[in-house]
């Protein structure tokens, strides 16, 4: 089981802030493919991953990163702090 969290318009498009999913995805990109195949709202949110950022266990990461041992995956648009 892996915890997935969504922020900003990704959260709004998918319609929930977090969920636990059972997955065998080896990498973030594999997980994104699984999610895209679920429902239209996921396909819409993940249509262009170049517009998204990913964090693994609260550290910024890359879409080709492995998921082995990861407990929490976060998807969000580029940050706009400050």
Partner 1 sequence: MKVAVQEGPFDAGAELDAFSHGRQQVGAVVSFTGIVRDRDGGLVRMEIEHYPGMTEKAIGEIAEAARARWDLADLLVIHRYGALPVGQPIMMVATAAAHRRAAFEAAEYLMDYLKSRAPFWKKEVTQTGAHWVEATPEDEDALSRW
Binding residues for partner 1, rule: CB under 8 A, are 5, 7-9, 11, 55, 58-60, 74, 76-82
How far apart CA 66 and CA 30 sit, in angstroms, is 9
Local structure of residue 38 (DSSP, 8 states): T
Indicate the residue among 37 and 82 with the shorter CB distance to partner 1: 82
53 phi/psi in degrees, rounded to 5: -125, 155
Indicate the residue among 7 and 42 with the shorter CB distance to partner 1: 7
Closest approach of partner 1 to the CB of residue 78, in Å: 4
Closest approach of partner 1 to the CB of residue 65, in Å: 16
How far apart CA 33 and CA 82 sit, in angstroms, is 33
Indicate the residue among 17 and 66 with the shorter CB distance to partner 1: 17
How far apart CA 34 and CA 24 sit, in angstroms, is 9
Closest approach of partner 1 to the CB of residue 24, in Å: 26
């Amino acid at each position: 089981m892996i915890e997935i969290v969504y922020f900003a318009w990704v959260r709004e498009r998918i319609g929930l802030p977090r969920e636990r999913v059972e997955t065998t995805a080896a990498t973030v990109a594999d997980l994104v493919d699984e999610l895209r195949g679920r429902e239209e709202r996921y396909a819409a949110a993940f249509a262009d991953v170049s517009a998204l950022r990913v964090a693994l266990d609260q550290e910024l990461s890359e879409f080709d990163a492995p998921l082995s041992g990861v407990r929490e995956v976060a998807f969000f648009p580029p940050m706009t702090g400050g």
